[in-house]
Amino acid sequence: MSGEPKVKLTKEGHIAFITLNDPSGLNLFDKEVVLTLADIQEELSKDNNLRAAVLQSAGDHFSAGVDLAFLKAVDTRFVKDNLNFLQRTFSRFQELPIPVIASIKGLCYGAGLEIALSCDIRIAAEGARLALPEVRFGLTADQTGTTRLTKLVGIGQAKKMILCTEEVDAQEAYRIGLVEYLVKPEDLESQSLRLAKRIANLPPSAVRFGKWGVNVAAEGNTYAGLMFEQAQSIYCFGTEDKEEAVNAFIEKRKPLFHDK
């Protein structure tokens, strides 16, 4: 058995790579994985050099979900004591100031799909299979799955996947809006990196407020969304990066942003 952690964090320039790295190849979720993810999220939140992140996996699968051996040991007391923390961890990628891209291949079940739902953009390789099968085990998705899936694909599609425990392939996931990009398996890594680099090369404040603005619009009412747009616009118009972006476009050169 490998001595490597089940989740690894690496950084290349302005981009972070979070890699699910379970030696079994199924990237199963257990307490260790969630705690490690929480620590990584905290580190990402404090690294002002980062501008994008990619959540990816080693092996053939993104994640087959929760380790059933761990699930079998969970009781009502554990849920009462830990579910708030679990939900916060599975929501944290949405709260980070940088966009997080989920790079999905193979199986993406249960907790694996729930963590992908918390990312900002999802890229799926052809052949990937996505499902929330919890009802089959006498449960339902409780780590933000029912909430985020419904908001992403609508009530009917969410009920079909959750109540019927229906698996969808990558093509169907793309059709219903569960993933934003569909690529060939051999292109998954390069497309994920290309998108992360594209985001990382944009003005950081504009990206940050763009992400949070969409979040506010999705969660709040129209008035709240418009007020947020006013606030972010007042801030962005006073940044050096805005001036650099405009000047570089006029001068037909590559801009250089400093998040100021």
Show which residues are catalytic.
Answer: 114, 134
Angle at which helix 222-236 crosses helix 204-219, to 10 degrees, equals 170
Q: Decide: helix, strand or coil at residue 129.
A: strand
Contact 90, 118 (CB under 8 A): yes
Distance CA 28, CA 26 (A): 6
Bridge partners (DSSP) of residue 104 are 124
Q: For residue 112, which of 129, 126, 94, 96 has the smallest C-alpha distance?
A: 129
Where do runs of H (alpha helix) occur along the chain? 31-46, 68-73, 76-95, 111-117, 145-153, 155-163, 170-175, 188-200, 204-219, 222-236, 240-251
H or E element in which residue 125 lies = strand 121-125
